[in-house]
Amino acid sequence: MAELYRQAISELESVATQIDDHAVDRACEMIADARRIGVYGCGREGLQLRGFVMRLFHLGRDVSVVGDMTMPPLGAGDLFIVSAGPGYLSTAMALATVARDAGAKVLLLTAQPAGRIAALADHVLVIPAQTMADDRGPARRSLLPMGSVFEGALFVLFEVMVLKLQKRLHITLDAMRANHTNME
């Protein structure tokens, strides 16, 4: 059984070492400069984004998840972060269009930078991992099923981005902790 853990971690490490750190820094700059941030991702990508939203909130950012009742309108000065690992998801495309038309910047997280949503993005952050777009036949390169490597890589990426943002925004761990809920 230990071999399965090693292989899964190895796959995540392989993806992480291929992520362009300058592209990550640009994404962090967009987050730091945004007045408001809205995020959207389908399925398990959406779950990873929700964890990132929580940390962005701890960093003092004005951030919301599309679909939540507290999601404000986005416009000029705002940022829409959308995850579409396979490069195209109809809802993600529609929401990116709405955000863009309202004047918000769009940050796309994807494994497929040639996908249709990339044309709407101000910045594309590529996570070079298997998704459901390439999990069958000769394109399959992961032991993990479907988009699991992409989703796991999102978690690792987001943790690194939080560290970069914490430094960029001069936010102490104590300040982050002060934003953590006491309703647990």
Phi, psi angle pair for 158, to nearest 5°? -65, -35
* Residue 180 maps to a domain: no
> Could you tell me if residue 44 is inside a domain?
yes
Question: Which of helix, strand or coil describes residue 105?
Answer: strand
pLDDT of residue 171: 97
pLDDT confidence band for 1 (50 / 70 / 90)? low
3-state helix, strand and coil shares in percent for the chain, rounded to the nearest 5: 50, 10, 35
What is the CATH classification number for the domain harbouring 66?
Answer: 3.40.50.10490
In a domain, 147, yes or no: yes
Residue type for position 43: G
| Beta-carbon contacts of residue 48 (< 8 Å; ≥ 6 apart) | 41, 83, 151, 154, 155, 158
How far is residue 69's CA from residue 13's CA, in Å, rounded to a whole number? 37
Within a domain: 90: yes
Task: Give CA–CA dist 29/99, Å, rounded.
Answer: 19
Predicted structure pTM score: 0.94
Which whole number is the average pLDDT over 56-74?
A: 97
Q: Closest by alpha carbon to 48, among 119, 172, 153, 134?
A: 153
**What is the number of structural domains in the chain?**
1
Identify whether the C-beta of residue 127 lies closer than 8 Å to the C-beta of residue 19. Answer: yes
pLDDT at 39 over 70: yes
Residue 19 forms part of a structural domain: no
pLDDT digits (tens, 9 = 90+) for 70-121: 999 999 999 999 999 888 899 999 999 999 999 999 999 999 999 999 999 9
pLDDT of residue 148: 82
* Rounded distance between C-alpha atoms, residue 39 and residue 25, angstroms: 18
Does residue 17 fall inside a structural domain? no
Which domain, by its residues, includes 66?
Answer: 29-132+140-173
Q: Which long-range contacts (CB under 8 A, 24 or more apart) does 164-167 make?
A: 164/24, 164/25, 164/28, 165/28, 165/31, 165/32, 165/56, 165/59, 166/59
pLDDT given for residue 135 in this prediction: 67
Is 43 among the domain residues?
yes
- Within-domain flag for 144: yes
